[in-house]
Structure 1
């Protein structure tokens, strides 16, 4: 049987740009699974949904591992790329988390070079570890994983440092490189050039620093993977705000329900029942 890591690795190597959709809880993952074959377990989304806090380093690794375990149980055939931030500071902890995630069936992880206090990759004020310190942590993680995909991420913001770090990460055994917060198509091209044959990941987030690009445009730029960190989270925020504002205006009376256009108890139950079916009726369990 092919491992989850190797399945994702094969998908990344295939022609085109592989999209991975950011999910923040089991319900958003249930909706995403109806549209895409791969999920990105977003640190931004998880911090927001599980803690109600911004993505600045509050996530505890046992909470993230437990979430990924629930995801894998419900979605046995989805790619699951997991954001583990800086590996929760300590290299030994990072390796332990990688072992746990691989054992429960995560397809891959992203390990960043930020130092604390960390920031969202598209926020101002990011600081990075000394390159040799990050590379040592990365090498420990690479030595720990078996088949899991490892994405090496840099949050460097100075132009010279971005290219230096991208080239250094490309020289490791990491499967993919992510430079977060890329500000232009020109910089995607420059990063692509220094990476050589190493696969490139691009992160898109609404309101972020990077340009909005289609999968076709990203493919033309040589991008192998695209993660969409927050489309589910931000759409839910907007929809909930609109629905509750309308409920308040209507003095608490629910709007007229149209089963053809709206989501009610029946549609929601059908969505969740598919998670049971996937769990019990998966054609073949993937070895890890």
Structure 2
């Protein structure tokens, strides 16, 4: 089953864990293929197995591991640099493995340290099956890009981070084409032209995609797209954040190649769980909140049918009686 998207692309339905494909393409290579196609690639933010399964079920061609949502879900903390390399890699590896035919882009904060640490980040993300990652120019004690008070490293340090990432990619045994996304948070403190200069510097040091955080007008987006070409631009669409919440069709028309939606699953999940818990607290029951979904139906979304088929295909007897 395939689902058509606004930009004319198609994506496999990963509800049972694996998309049908005649030939496996490495996730990073698949991401590069998507970026080479017309239109803008939508990547919904996911942070755990349930959100990833649902995004795959919806038929999106690419997923995004939100750093803020990963920090919140794994640590119960705000996006202030608490999560480390292992937190991101373990979570990313799990998400990427659910359907390896659908590329996953993952937040990598500042690269988790100096040049040597960034090299390890690239190698571990690549081994985890992550297709692309973004590295930013904030100081190590970073914060969410839509919060005030961000402090940036000098552009020379940012360039070193990107150079380290590009060099590490060349050193991966067997080769790697993991997509390096350079993110700058300079707009808030230094303005558009300094932000563009930083993205151009990153492009010239080996970055594949530019990410200007907090961009807030159509004119600035279009100007950035032209200024950093041929490197494509990623836009971060957060409801009620700094960037206006344009539609996918609108940003595609501005020349944007990749749109991420970091909070599309975690904030709605927060509201739904809060309401469900409040009703349980009030009534002492949780039956209506399930909307009639039985345990078997929940497990079907998590890939039960695929796992049953695996067992039966090799002559196993775990599911002689249907689960």
Shared topology, TM-score over 0.5? yes
Q: Which residue of 2 aligns with 1:115?
A: 139
Q: Which residue of 2 aligns with 1:100?
A: 124
2:28 and 2:131 in contact (8 A); partners too? yes
Q: How does 1:230-269 map to 2 (within 5 A)?
A: 230-250=263-283, 252-256=284-288, 262-269=292-299
Secondary structure of the 1:178 match is: strand
Which of these residues, 237, 250, 263, is aligned with residue 204 of structure 1? 237
Which of these residues, 270, 277, 280, is aligned with residue 300 of structure 2? 270
Cα deviation for residue 14 of structure 1 reads 0.3
Once residues 257 and 105 of structure 1 are traced to their aligned partners in structure 2, the CA distance between those partners, rounded to angstroms, is 36
- TM-score, normalized by length of structure 2? 0.81
Once residues 54 and 28 of structure 2 are traced to their aligned partners in structure 1, the CA distance between those partners, rounded to angstroms, is 23
Once residues 168 and 238 of structure 1 are traced to their aligned partners in structure 2, the CA distance between those partners, rounded to angstroms, is 41
Assess, with a 3 A threshold, how the Cα gap between structure 1 residues 104 and 163 changes in structure 2: closer, same or farther: closer
Which of these residues, 31, 46, 54, is aligned with residue 31 of structure 1? 54
Assess, with a 3 A threshold, how the Cα gap between structure 1 residues 32 and 2 changes in structure 2: closer, same or farther: closer
Once residues 233 and 169 of structure 1 are traced to their aligned partners in structure 2, the CA distance between those partners, rounded to angstroms, is 31
Cα deviation for residue 262 of structure 1 reads 4.3
Q: Which runs of 4+ in 1 moved over 3 A?
A: 255-258, 261-264, 274-281
Cα deviation for residue 115 of structure 1 reads 0.6
Q: Which residue of 2 aligns with 1:49?
A: 73
Cα deviation for residue 187 of structure 1 reads 1.5
Q: Which residue of 2 aligns with 1:215?
A: 248
Q: Which residue of 1 aligns with 2:10?
A: none
Once residues 106 and 24 of structure 1 are traced to their aligned partners in structure 2, the CA distance between those partners, rounded to angstroms, is 14
Cα deviation for residue 263 of structure 1 reads 3.4
Q: Which residue of 2 aligns with 1:285?
A: none
Assess, with a 3 A threshold, how the Cα gap between structure 1 residues 278 and 206 changes in structure 2: closer, same or farther: farther
Higher relative contact order (CA 8 A, sep 6+): 1
RMSD (CA atoms) = 2.1
2:27 and 2:100 in contact (8 A); partners too? no
Structure 2: gaps spanning 5 or more residues: 1-23, 170-175, 312-323
Structure 1: gaps spanning 5 or more residues: 282-288
Q: Which residue of 1 aligns with 2:43?
A: 20
Assess, with a 3 A threshold, how the Cα gap between structure 1 residues 280 and 112 changes in structure 2: closer, same or farther: farther
Which of these residues, 155, 164, 169, is aligned with residue 202 of structure 2? 169
